[in-house]
Amino acid sequence: MSSVGAGFRLARAGWVLVREGVIAALPGEELSGLPKFGWRLARLFTRRRALAYERSDRLAKAVVRLGPSYVKLGQFLATRPDVVGNDMALDLAMLQDKMHTFPRAEAVAAIEASLGRKVADLYAEFGDPVAAASIAQVHAADTIHDGAATKVAVKVIRPGVRRRFFQDLESYFLAARLQEKYIPSSRRLRPVEVTETLAQTTKIEMDLRLEAAALSELGENTRDDPGFRVPSVDWERTGRDVLTMEWVDGVKMNNIAGLEAAGHDLKAIAANLIQSFLRHTLRDGFFHADMHPGNLFVEANGTIVAVDLGIAGRLGKKERRFLAEILYGFITRDYLRVAEVHFEAGYVPRQHNVAAFAQAIRAIGEPIHGQPAETISMAKLLTLLFEVTELFDMATRPELILLQKTMVVVEGVARTLDPAFNMWKTAEPVVGGWIAGNLGPRGMMIDARDGAKALLTLARQAPELAARTDRLSREIDLMAEHGLRFDESTARAIGKAEARYSRSGRVALWVIALTLVYIAWKLL
């Protein structure tokens, strides 16, 4: 029955996408055969008023109608341009959570159930919702510390949102399985694995304790950074379904008129935003991965405050070195070094030629250097780079795609603040500084220290590794002498699986036989 329900929900989602003109906005003229017929049919059923909107606006209206899980699906697919295409990924990246609020009484019930205390005991004052997103909404409240009232923001999970998400996930899995079955060309994109990743990230995002931990970590990393911070967490009033944090007084970054009225230097804010993001990415390997302008505030002194850290990205040391050398290589036009970095990182298989790959990199870099600096997009550069790497069998790297998606959004915000924004000039101090500190003599010393630590750890584990090797050797000898044996539980599991498949096969044969009998009877 769950599969039937998933099918109905999937059909409804398709109908909403048709009615809101999302399907009609796709480049259907390039299609042929049945897909093109379906695209033309979708245009006939599109609402007339929807045709007046841009594709991104149609998409936003459709996902709002479909509900919170589709907003998250859209934001997640924005990190996978290899799946949805670059143009659609850009539209999805601009999706922001703007949902209807739910009653204050339901929020109170959720808080009391999560923390096991009455709201009156937790907060001196608990107000109405001030903002609502797909997974949670935010309330203004007051707490008492040392006899003084402190204003806080309280984020509360939507009632029933987990159940709704898991129901819609069934539809996503059904669509992914159908795609793999009937569209062979899509199998290399592994849609079922993509859906499994979405399911996992959504589970993490729905536990507000994990968002609180991310805020705490980013707060520690940026404690001494100029012009950037995140709100502090009130751990006493934080649980699985509720997050209490410092209230932020500032102007949202999507309010350009408000920023100008407050006397802020928009060019300085744009530069600060990009440099802060690159600093978090390269220095810390941990960055806010949902930095749309609705999640960014500017305080009176010009400090940027980032909120809503439900989605965070991580880069290992190898990925950070990869990113820094690529960006610096493009800045200095050292395309051979950019190509070598790909091979050193193991991203491009060794059977390919480094010089040929450098030639492909040059095809990206040279046109960019012929443009005015303020028109060069680092996000577009990374997009073109990933397109070229596909020709050289570079496997999809989820952590790099999430970085690309975030950079698209951050760079878009910066250009909104400063249309003549020079990305390369702004990025060079951070990227160049990181390379000087990590790839020069100091970096070599750090690598040597890390290598020595790894060798010491390995030496400490040597007795245990020797014992494991000895046990493995004896087991292989026994297996060679007596053959492979299963334990009782494994044998039972195999038997049950075989029985189940046998039953399914018999049922299928009976259905086929009855169908043939019915057809023969009709023909007679």
DSSP string, 65-116: HH-HHHHHHHHHHTT-HHHH-HHHHHHHHT---------HHHHHHHHHHHHS
Whether the pLDDT of residue 267 is over 60: the answer is: yes
Rounded CA separation 94/78 (Å): 9
pLDDT attached to residue 181: 79
Domain count, the chain: 3
Which position has the token pair 């190509």? 339
Same domain, 232 and 273: no
pLDDT attached to residue 397: 66
Rounded CA separation 461/515 (Å): 64
Residue 57: pLDDT band (50, 70, 90) is confident
For the chain, how many residues are written?
A: 524
Same domain, 268 and 333: yes
Residue closest to 246 by CA, chosen among 219, 284, 285:
219
Contact 155, 148 (CB under 8 A): no
Mapping DSSP onto H, E and C, the string for 282-348 reads: HHHCEEECCCCHHHEEECCCCCEEECCCCCEEECCHHHHHHHHHHHHHHHHCCHHHHHHHHHHCCCC
Same domain, 357 and 412: yes
Residue 193, token pair as written in the block: 């694995």
pLDDT attached to residue 223: 93
Residue closest to 277 by CA, chosen among 294, 291, 265:
291
User: In the chain, what percentage of residues exceed pLDDT 70?
Assistant: 73
Q: Residues 91, 168, 290, 308: which is the catalytic one?
A: 290
Contact 114, 78 (CB under 8 A): no
Residue 519 domain flag = no
Residue 447 domain flag = no
Same domain, 138 and 236: yes
Residue 16 domain flag = yes
pLDDT attached to residue 434: 81
Same domain, 91 and 109: no
Query: Is 290 designated active site?
Result: yes
Contact 290, 310 (CB under 8 A): yes
Expressed in angstroms, the distance from the first to the final Cα of the chain is: 36
pLDDT top residue among 180 and 373:
180
In the three-class reduction of DSSP (H, G, I as helix; E, B as strand; rest coil), residue 254 is classed as coil
Contact 130, 152 (CB under 8 A): no
Whether the pLDDT of residue 459 is over 80: the answer is: no
Residue ranges with strand state E in 351-480: none
Whether the pLDDT of residue 431 is over 50: the answer is: yes
- Please state the rounded mean pLDDT for residues 304-319: 88
Rounded CA separation 331/281 (Å): 18
**Considering 408, 439, 470, which residue would you say is the last residue of a domain?**
439
Rounded CA separation 174/9 (Å): 10
Same domain, 113 and 228: yes
Average pLDDT, the chain: 79
pLDDT attached to residue 231: 95
Residue 521, token pair as written in the block: 């009877």
Whether the pLDDT of residue 241 is over 90: the answer is: yes
Rounded CA separation 208/31 (Å): 44
pLDDT attached to residue 512: 53
pLDDT top residue among 87 and 127:
127
Same domain, 226 and 279: no
**Considering 247, 268, 303, which residue would you say is the last residue of a domain?**
247
Give the CA distances from residue 185 to residues 66, 113, 181, 222, in Å, rounded to whole numbers and listed in that order.
28, 48, 10, 44
Same domain, 157 and 230: yes
Rounded CA separation 228/37 (Å): 52
- Please state the rounded mean pLDDT for residues 428-438: 79
Residue 191 domain flag = yes
Residue 338 domain flag = yes
β-bridge mates for residue 287, sequence order: 313
pLDDT attached to residue 445: 56
Rounded CA separation 250/91 (Å): 27
- Please state the rounded mean pLDDT for residues 232-245: 95
Residue 122 domain flag = yes
Same domain, 66 and 9: yes
Rounded CA separation 252/258 (Å): 8
Same domain, 305 and 286: yes
Residue 476 domain flag = no
pLDDT attached to residue 215: 95
- Please state the rounded mean pLDDT for residues 462-474: 74
Residue 237, token pair as written in the block: 């009033």
Rounded CA separation 89/393 (Å): 21
Residue 411: pLDDT band (50, 70, 90) is confident
Rounded CA separation 390/13 (Å): 31
Residue 156: pLDDT band (50, 70, 90) is very high
pLDDT top residue among 429 and 518:
429
CATH of the domain at 149: 3.30.200.20
pLDDT top residue among 139 and 399:
139
What residues make up the domain containing 343? 249-439
Residue closest to 39 by CA, chosen among 63, 21, 52, 51:
21
Contact 426, 374 (CB under 8 A): no
| Pairing verdict, β 304-306 and 296-298 | antiparallel
Same domain, 429 and 308: yes
- Please state the rounded mean pLDDT for residues 467-472: 75
Backbone torsions φ then ψ of 376, nearest 5 degrees: -80, 130
- Please state the rounded mean pLDDT for residues 192-205: 78
pLDDT top residue among 123 and 323:
123
DSSP string, 41-64: HHHHHS-TGGGGS-HHHHHHHHHH
Give the CA distances from residue 298 to residues 189, 287, 294, in Å, rounded to whole numbers and listed in that order.
40, 18, 11
pLDDT attached to residue 379: 63
Same domain, 46 and 158: no
Whether the pLDDT of residue 68 is over 60: the answer is: yes
pLDDT attached to residue 1: 42
Residue 190: pLDDT band (50, 70, 90) is confident
- Please state the rounded mean pLDDT for residues 364-383: 68
**Considering 403, 422, 439, which residue would you say is the last residue of a domain?**
439
Chain centre to alpha carbon of residue 319: 17
- Whether the CA torsion 469, 472, 478, 482 is positive or negative: it is negative
